[in-house]
Amino acid sequence: MLAAANEQQIWDWLAEVPDPEIPVVSVVDLGIVRKVTISDNSIEVEVAPTYSGCPATEVIESTILSKLVDEGLNGVSVKRVLSPPWTTDWISDVGRNKLREYGIAPPVDGASKRELLGKSEIHCPRCGTSETTVVSEFGSTACKASYKCDECLEPFEYFKCI
């Protein structure tokens, strides 16, 4: 392991690892990386899976591993942690802005049963209006729903609140 490797440096490297499904945000922006533990001979990165069946989970873990190995680190391991379960509340403000700029409406703050069941207003990521209509509760991935804007008429995806 490089003597210079400190925790902040590792977090900075992880912030360069894109989500495989939505590459505009990093695994750090999404709040998937929970903890980095550095000991004498090893580095352990704790990762929280999003959905039970998320097909990206294994890709994310191997991408994190290869990123840190490429940066010259040895003894790196990735540990999957289930508890507490990942929630969209862990998506950072930076991540939310990146999603919006990319055209995906970020999840509303404060995940709860009520929000999961879609009771709140969803704003169009392009023009910002709350006049939007759900087209399909299921989108291109398990974590997104399809909406359309009633003002600017653009279709967009909404990152579900879970």
**Residues contributing to the site for other proteins (CB under 8 A):** 49, 51-55, 82-86, 113, 116-117, 136-139, 142, 160, 162
Question: At closest approach, how far in Å is the CB of 45 from other proteins?
Answer: 19
Q: 157, 126, 162: which is closest to 144 by C-alpha?
A: 157
Q: By C-beta, is 8 or 83 nearer to other proteins?
A: 83
Q: How far is the CB of 148 from other proteins (least distance, A)?
A: 14
Q: Could you tell me which residues are beta bridge partners of residue 136? A: 146
Q: CB 74 → other proteins: shortest distance, Å? A: 27
Cβ neighbours for 56, distance < 8 A, ≥ 6 positions apart: 19, 20, 21, 50
Q: Which is nearer to other proteins, 109 or 137 (CB)?
A: 137
Nearer to other proteins, 11 or 138 (CB): 138
Residues β-bridged to residue 105? 158
